Amino acid sequence: MARCWPLELGFTSGEGGVRYPERMNADASPFSDGPPAPGFYAVRLSGPGAVLAPMAGYSDAPMRQLAAEQGALWTVSEMISARGLVLGGDTEKLNLGRPYAGEQGRVVQLFGAEPELLAAAVARAEAWFVPAAIDLNMGCPVPKIRGKGGACLLQTPEVAFTLIEAMRAATALDVSAKIRLGWDTDRSVEVAQGLAAAGASLITVHGRTSRQRYTGEADWDAIARVAASVDVPVVGSGDILDVETARQRQQASGVAAVMIGRGSVGNPWIFRALAGGNLEADPRPSAQARAWTALRHAQLQTQFYNDDTGRLTLRPLRKVLPKYLPDYPELHAELTQVVTVADVGRVLAPLLDSVPQGGAVQTGAMSSVSTEYAGSYS
């Protein structure tokens, strides 16, 4: 069985090029004028809404931008390896951490199992990416990161507690953790209490064990027990696919907010509904507005990754685009084959009044859907 305690836990500062760096001035980053004040989570949780989950291959900058525009309380980056960030030759241009222009309210999630490396990674992430807060991944169940952090830390929670302490010592930002119920049995209350004692400002709980991965149903009763057992905010996660379920789970469990992953793919409007008290079961706008948003997602993707050819940048989006239009299955096959933004515009043309040249979204070309589309991003 893979274990999560670090093989190099006792190495001294500086060995292998790792040091506890002094927290770098945020002015070193080209993306922001300065870091947000501590207490980010408390401020954001003072209002209604939901959180965009970290999802490898999904919650990149374009998706985060769409979720933020629709009122997500905050968004979380795809997880970033602390070891890779410190020792792997990464730069501030790393796409996993790099914000889109003007991005705010984004939490950077790190994974790792060595206090020194995580402390160094926190300082580097803060300087390069100017996050609103830092999150420790203790929930990823994929085999390739076993022994390197993720859900494997649930086997040795005492190691995770030292990681949170080291991360807190490296930054003035809020530090949080995202956990599962346990490795193969429910130890979530024990783990959450230890994380809170170590200084975590917030804990997100996914209602499955690592062994379950994504099978079965999320156990929201277990999440409720965690929420009642600690004095820091708890965010609940698991099987939130619609507005009604989000409200029911939050009210019944007593969590401060819910985190939404799969339910937000192709449906950023779910955040707007939860932030604004919309009681509609399905907050999605018309097919035209959804088609324009899918087209805009493709344009944001191309702009962020700076690839006009789309041959690499739109490939990851092929699995997302059909989610915008589940009621138009006849378009799905072609949407999973697009290469350029123009291809996306061509496939979606039946739902658009007009397709701007090159497939780019232009306000003047929105015709009858302009008011609805523009209103979605006000």
pLDDT tens digits, residue range 154-175?
999 999 999 999 999 999 999 9
Q: What's residue 147's pLDDT?
A: 58
pLDDT-derived band at 200 (thresholds 50, 70, 90) equals very high
Same domain, 201 and 323: no
Of 77-86, 105-114, 248-257, 366-375, least confident by mean pLDDT is 366-375
Mean pLDDT confidence for 48-56: 96
Check whether 1 has a pLDDT greater than 50. Answer: no
- Contact partners, residue 100, CB within 8 Å, separation at least 6: 61, 62, 64, 65, 300, 304
How many whole angstroms separate alpha carbon 364 and alpha carbon 156? Answer: 57
Q: What's residue 5's pLDDT?
A: 38
- Contact partners, residue 254, CB within 8 Å, separation at least 6: 224, 227, 228
In a domain, 1, yes or no: no
Same domain, 185 and 303: no
In a domain, 282, yes or no: no
Q: What's residue 353's pLDDT?
A: 75
Catalytic residue chosen out of the listed positions 140, 192, 234, 369: 140
* 213, 242, 276 - which closes a domain: 276
Identify which has the larger pLDDT, 300 or 10.
Answer: 300
Q: Is 152 a catalytic residue?
A: no
Same domain, 257 and 209: yes
In a domain, 8, yes or no: no
55-62 contacts at long range (C-beta below 8 A, 24 or more positions apart) = 55/261, 55/262, 55/265, 56/140, 57/316, 58/261, 58/265, 58/320, 60/95, 60/96, 60/304, 60/316, 61/95, 61/98, 61/99, 61/100, 61/103, 61/300, 61/304, 62/100, 62/297, 62/300, 62/301, 62/304
pLDDT-derived band at 311 (thresholds 50, 70, 90) equals low
| Nearest partner of 289 among 371, 221, 199, judged by Cα | 371
Q: What's residue 280's pLDDT?
A: 63
In a domain, 9, yes or no: no
Q: Which domain holds residue 345?
A: 287-376
| Nearest partner of 235 among 110, 59, 39, 49, judged by Cα | 49
Same domain, 173 and 300: no
Of 28-32, 93-97, 306-310, 337-341, least confident by mean pLDDT is 28-32
Same domain, 79 and 216: yes
Same domain, 83 and 24: yes
Same domain, 169 and 309: no
* 253, 276, 299 - which closes a domain: 276
Give me the CATH number covering residue 133. Answer: 3.20.20.70
* 241, 276, 311 - which closes a domain: 276
User: In terms of DSSP bridges, do strands 234-237 and 106-111 run parallel, antiparallel, or are they unpaired?
Assistant: unpaired
Of 17-31, 105-119, 193-207, least confident by mean pLDDT is 17-31
In a domain, 356, yes or no: yes
Q: What's residue 376's pLDDT?
A: 54
User: What mean pLDDT, rounded, does the chain reach?
Assistant: 84
Same domain, 131 and 224: yes
Mean pLDDT confidence for 279-301: 89
Q: Domain total for the chain?
A: 2
| Nearest partner of 153 among 314, 3, 338, judged by Cα | 3
Burial class (CB in 10 A: 0-12, 13-18, 19+), 36: middle
Same domain, 199 and 319: no
This prediction has a pTM of: 0.84
Q: What's residue 359's pLDDT?
A: 44
Beta strand spans in 241-328 (E): 257-260
Q: What's residue 213's pLDDT?
A: 86
